[in-house]
């Protein structure tokens, strides 16, 4: 899916009750932020699939600060 596709999904998902009180600029900013998040999540899922990780609960954020302090 393209970036424009993600943007259309997020614009469509905005509820009328909430978004009617927002300006057009704020609605677009929210949609772009949500579309970028959706895009990144899709990319990460693809990378996890390609890496064929054994555990779906693997911490992908890198080494924790606790382990650095222990060394």
Q: Does 6 have pLDDT greater than 80?
A: no
- Half-sphere exposure at residue 33, Cβ-oriented, CA atoms within 13 angstroms: 7
Q: How confident is the model at residue 71 (pLDDT cuts 50, 70, 90)?
A: very low
The four Cα atoms 38, 42, 47, 49 give a dihedral, to 10 degrees, of 140
Q: Is the CB of residue 49 less than 8 Å from the CB of residue 60?
A: no
Q: Does 1 have pLDDT greater than 60?
A: yes
Question: What tokens were used for 66?
Answer: 């606790």
Instruction: List, for residues 24-65, the tens digit of each pLDDT value.
Output: 898 889 888 888 888 888 888 888 888 876 666 666 666 665
Q: What range defines the domain where residue 40 resides?
A: 3-70
DSSP letter for 61, please.
Answer: T
Number of structural domains in the chain = 1
Q: Average pLDDT of 6-17?
A: 80
First and final C-alpha spacing in the chain: 44
């Amino acid at each position: 899916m393209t970036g424009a596709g993600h943007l259309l999904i997020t614009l469509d998902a905005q509820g009328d009750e909430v978004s009617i009180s927002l300006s057009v600029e704020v609605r677009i900013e929210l949609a772009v932020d949500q579309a970028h998040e959706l895009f990144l999540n899709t990319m990460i899922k693809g990378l996890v699939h390609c890496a064929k990780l054994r555990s779906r609960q693997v911490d992908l954020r890198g080494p924790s600060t606790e382990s650095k302090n222990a060394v």
